[in-house]
Structure formats: C-alpha cells, structure tokens
Homo-oligomer: A and B are copies of this chain.
Amino acid sequence: MRKTIATVSVSGTLAEKLEAIAAAGFDGVELFENDLLACPLPPEEIRARAADLGLTIDLYQPFRDFEAVPDDLLARNLRRAEHKFRLMERLGTDLLLVCSNVSPEAIGDDERAAAQLRLLAERAAGHGVRIAYEALAWGRHVDEYLHAWRLVRLADHPGLGLCLDSFHILSRGSDPIGIEAVPGEKIFFLQLADAPLLAMDVLQWSRHYRCFPGQGTFDVAGLVRHALNAGYAGPLSLEVFNDHFRQADTGRTARDGMRSLLALEGELAGTTHPCVPTGFAFAELADDGGAFGEVLGALGFTRAGAHPRKPVELWTQGGARLLLNATGAEPSLAAIGLDGPDPAGAVKHAEALLSPVLPRERAPEEARLDAVAAPDGTQIFFCDDSWLSDFPPPPAGRSGGAVTGIDHVALTQPWHYFDEAELFYRTVLGLRPQGSLELPDPYGLLRSKAMSDPGGAVRMVVNIAQVGSGDVPWQHVALACDDVLALARRLRAEHPGLLLPIPANYYDDLEARHDLGPELRELRELGVLYDRDARGGEFLHLYTVTVGRVFFELVQRTGGYDGYGAGNAPIRLAAQHSGHRSGGH
C-alpha cells in the first residue's frame, strides 16, 4: 500500500521534513498548514521540491470550523475556503481535510451541516478539489465517525467523503467495526496514530501523546483491517502530534514511522514474527582491560577462553556467557547476543524493518555473526551456537556456581527515543511489552518498560532517566541464580566491598509489610532485597556496585514471579547515587 505521513509528525523546517520523509521511503505527505505558513518557499516551489524528492502531496490540512454555522458566517467561511482551494491548485494537491466544527457558533443541526458541506464540495469541485470530512473526538456536535458518515451520506456529493483517524475513533472507545458500513470509495483518507492509555482530556492526549502504531495500546491494525474490508484503497498515513517527536531528529523519526507502517503491513498480512529469540547467547562488556575480571571472578565466573584474533575473553558460569572486550573504552555493556532458530532470517527481518545492520570484519574461518544497532546504540547479535567455535574449547569449569544464566538486561535510552525503543524491541525482536512504570530516583524519575518473549526467556528492560541535569547512564545485566542467598553469603564473606549496601530501614519496613519470620534476618544480614506478587511468587535479588556504567544484579524467581522487583528500585537508586557521590565505584 502507499505510505504517507503528515509533515507535523516530524521536527524541522518544511524543507528538512520533506527530505527526511523521502529518505525514509514514504510515497507522499499530508501537508500541515502551519508548516506551509512558516516556509519561505512559495507553494509552486514546495510542489516542485516534493516532486523532485519523489513525494506526492496527498492531502492539505486542516481546514477548521466550517460547517453547521449561521448563514452570515457561512459566507465568510466559503471565502476562506476559496483561498485555500486556490492555494491547493498552486500546490498541485486535490484533497482537503475538513475537521468537524469545534466552535461555540456551530449549530447542532445535521441538515444544515450536510447542506453546507455539500455547498463546500460543489465550490471545491470547481478547483478540482475534493473534501475529506473528519469527526474530531472533541468536535462540538460531530465527534463520532459514524455521525460524520451520516452527514456525508446526507450531503450526497461525489467530491465529499470521509477522513478516518484511528486516534479520534479509538480514543473515544468507538467500535471501528462500523467502518465496514461505509463504501470504500467514500473513505477518502485514512490517518493512523497510536497512543498510550492515559486518563486525561482527549484534546491534550491527542496534541501531546500520540505515537506511531505499535508504540501505544490501540489496535490500529484491527481498524485498518475494517477499512480494507470496506474497500479503502488509499494510502496508510501517519499523523502524530508528540512532544518528544517535535524535539527529536527529523530523519530518525521519519524512519521510525516507516518501520511502524512496515510492521503494520506485516501484521495485516497475518505474518507472525519470523524469529523471536529463544534466549540470551551472551552479553558483551567493553572495558579498559581488566575492570570486570575481578567482579566476574568473585561472582563465580570462569575465564573459559580467549578469541584467537581479538582482545576478547569468554567468561562462563552455568548458562551465562559474558564476553569481555578490551576496547579501551569506559566499562559498558556493548552488545547482546540472542539465540534463535534462524539468525540469518532474523537479520533479514531486522533489515527489512530499517534497522541498521552493523559492518563487521571477520576472518574467513570465523563464525558469521550479524548484528543490528538498537536505538541506544547497543549491538544486537543474532546467533546460533557456532560463534562458540571461535573460542578454544573451555577447560573443565568450576562446578556448583550459583548463576544459571542471564535473567534480563536493562538499558538506558536517550529520552527522546523511548517510543522508538519500544517499537524496535516489539517489531524487530518480537518481544511483547509487560508494562510501564515510573520509579522515583533521589534526583528525578526513571521511566521503565519491560519487554519479553512469551516464555520469559529473553527479558529486556528499557529505562529513560529524567534526572537532574546529569545523566544516569547505568546499564545492568541480571544473572539468574538457583540459590541467591548462598551466593550472597559467600560474597559478603569473601568480597565485602562488592555488593551494594542496603539500608537497615528497608528491612524494618519489610518486616512491617510481610511476616517473613527468620528468613527476614537472613535477608537483612545479607543485604538481599525481597518482593512478593499477588499470587505468592517471590523474588530475591541483590546488586553489585557499579563498574564504569555497568552493574550486575543477582536474582532468583520462585512461584512464577514475573516482575523485576520494581518497588525496590528506589532503594537501589538511592544507594547507587550515594556510592557514586561519595566517590565509591
């Protein structure tokens, strides 16, 4: 299907927007009036600029507060419309979006509204222009798409049809199945936006929090399916008003919008995600040579081997594999390897969804490993077991280590790109969002979103920190353990400085909230945090101090616990800041 986007959805000047939209592969644009008004180019040049870039101008928008007005106002509104028709001729575009009237002067009279819309369509026809009428969710008298359709049918003019907008329909909780009552050729245009579920005034919600399909909670694909069933044959067009998108990089947002539409097409075609990962193959830590070795050794990891050609070491324990890459950089989490049934297919899928495939040099005898860049720059590798053959066969490892594998990995996103991250993990990796949280930090707020595959084998947590003027760029690798208390006991005895100290006040409160008996004393002594879910599932966890940007969490899940101990995160954050500020690790 043709793909278009409203110019208001991305940042920049109109010239910058058109360039980025074309580069992202869109076929055309909805030209947003404010972008035109602020543009120094005359309409004819905008038309030529778009054509040079291979873009059509599919719609001009919005024209407001036209219909259902007293007669004297009608004359003024028609005069206003004539100006826009002439402008559209200069732009070479033939479809005008008319939003339902929000003015207090509008009259709640369907006959009047329909007659005036018919008159508008007649005048428009003289300029080769057609009218797409849209019910705004906050329209004065017309706020529902089936009401708009009633008026369009009543007006009965070939140049008058509907514009449907998924936000206006789904934000009101209207059932989109009614779209199938509209003949496809009367749906002149289809605008798509998703949104998070927010309990606020719908106008504010629409103006600031819309996002691309797949980034929110609406079933946008379901709505599109109804439009296609009705016979709609026009473009899929993104129209998003979003405070973060306004500030973000133009090209990046445009690409992300295209990724959203490509994923939507896949969903419409009924294709399930072709290669959801089945587990963590490894996490790769970059360091300046040796920063992690001591911590990993203390945690019970064994240096299993070194890469013959690169300064990379493989450390293992149970099913957890960590690569230490001596890049000379600040210690950080550089890459994640994901196991899956079809690594080559996964890369192809990621590439089809516009993820940058990273160039990688390898010797001819080395295993082929392809990676794409996640929104925060972390490299995501798609693996089968062959990469292990790059390393010499490991010596007989120390047995009886507590760590059994990687439980989850948490990354901090640049704050403009939280929505992009959700779309990436959802569409490129096939993970599903588990929920979104806000966590108080001593110096701000952390917004956190957990994503996982259906089986919980691959769990990723994406955070954005809105913390003071500085950054909290912490990343962490959570290691699953089968006896976290035993591990904590050993670590407290052998490596007393390694673990993050937890305040005694936390345990007083834990005692007040839960009747844990003697177990509590052990948690307190070992500095282990505790959470319990509504069904009795339990979560025991603790943290190492931070090395560079990275810390490790040691976790143990029992009884089907599926969360991340979010209630304890503020305790952890405070302890980390305190260690940081007092010049600790």
Q: Distance in Å from the Cβ of A124 to the closest Cβ of chain B?
A: 14
Bound complex: CA of A199 vs CA of B42, how far in Å? 40
Q: Quick one: which of B40, B469, B508 contacts A83, CB cutoff 8 A?
A: B508
Q: Are A40 and B501 in contact (CB under 8 A)?
A: yes
Q: Is A74 an interface residue (CB 8 A)?
A: no
A:52-106 near B, CB below 8 Å: 76, 79-80, 83-84, 87
Q: Quick one: which of B34, B444, B468, B575 contacts A38, CB cutoff 8 A?
A: B575
Cβ–Cβ < 8 Å partners of A509 in chain B: 33, 37, 83
Q: Is A355 an interface residue (CB 8 A)?
A: no
Q: Is A51 an interface residue (CB 8 A)?
A: no
Q: Are B200 and A13 in contact (CB under 8 A)?
A: no
- Contact pattern, A 569-583, Cβ under 8 Å of B = 1, otherwise 0: 011011101100000
- Residue picked from A34, A442, A501, most chain B C-beta under 10 Å: A442
- Contact pattern, A 8-50, Cβ under 8 Å of B = 1, otherwise 0: 0001110000000000000000000110111111110000000
Q: Are A504 and B12 in contact (CB under 8 A)?
A: no
Q: Are B574 and A42 in contact (CB under 8 A)?
A: no
Q: Quick one: which of B243, B515, B570 contacts A466, CB cutoff 8 A?
A: B243
Known contacts A38-B570, A200-B199; is-contact A512 B445 (Cβ 8 Å): no
Q: Is A437 an interface residue (CB 8 A)?
A: no
Q: Are A443 and B247 in contact (CB under 8 A)?
A: yes
A:475-507 near B, CB below 8 Å: 501, 503-506
- CB-nearest residue of chain B to A444: B247
Copies in the complex: 2
Cβ–Cβ < 8 Å partners of A246 in chain B: 440-441, 443-445
Bound complex: CA of A440 vs CA of B243, how far in Å? 9
Known contacts A33-B509, A440-B246; is-contact A578 B40 (Cβ 8 Å): yes
Q: Distance in Å from the Cβ of A117 to the closest Cβ of chain B?
A: 19
Cβ–Cβ < 8 Å partners of A12 in chain B: 442-443
- CB-nearest residue of chain B to A81: B512
Q: Is A467 an interface residue (CB 8 A)?
A: yes
Q: Are B506 and A80 in contact (CB under 8 A)?
A: no
Q: Are B505 and A36 in contact (CB under 8 A)?
A: yes
Q: Is A513 an interface residue (CB 8 A)?
A: yes
Q: Quick one: which of B37, B84, B247 contacts A571, CB cutoff 8 A?
A: B37
Q: Are A468 and B80 in contact (CB under 8 A)?
A: no
Bound complex: CA of A79 vs CA of B515, how far in Å? 9
Bound complex: CA of A501 vs CA of B13, how far in Å? 15
- Contact pattern, A 547-575, Cβ under 8 Å of B = 1, otherwise 0: 00000000000000000000000110111
Q: Are A503 and B40 in contact (CB under 8 A)?
A: yes
Cβ–Cβ < 8 Å partners of A83 in chain B: 508-509, 511-512
Q: Distance in Å from the Cβ of A568 to the closest Cβ of chain B?
A: 10
Q: Are A39 and B511 in contact (CB under 8 A)?
A: no
Cβ–Cβ < 8 Å partners of A200 in chain B: 198-201, 204
Q: Quick one: which of B440, B501, B513, B577 contacts A80, CB cutoff 8 A?
A: B513
Bound complex: CA of A87 vs CA of B12, how far in Å? 56
- Residue picked from A37, A243, A466, A570, most chain B C-beta under 10 Å: A37
Q: Are A43 and B505 in contact (CB under 8 A)?
A: yes
Bound complex: CA of A477 vs CA of B483, how far in Å? 68
- CB-nearest residue of chain B to A38: B574
Cβ–Cβ < 8 Å partners of A505 in chain B: 36-39, 42-43
Bound complex: CA of A36 vs CA of B84, how far in Å? 62
A:348-384 near B, CB below 8 Å: none
Bound complex: CA of A231 vs CA of B511, how far in Å? 39
Task: Other than A12-B442, A38-B574, give 14 A-B pairs with Cβ distance below 8 A.
Answer: A34-B440, A34-B570, A37-B509, A37-B571, A38-B506, A42-B504, A80-B512, A199-B200, A199-B201, A200-B200, A246-B443, A247-B443, A247-B444, A247-B469
17 CB < 8 A contacts A-B = A11-B442, A12-B443, A13-B577, A13-B578, A36-B505, A37-B571, A38-B506, A38-B570, A40-B578, A79-B512, A80-B513, A83-B509, A83-B511, A84-B512, A198-B204, A243-B444, A247-B445
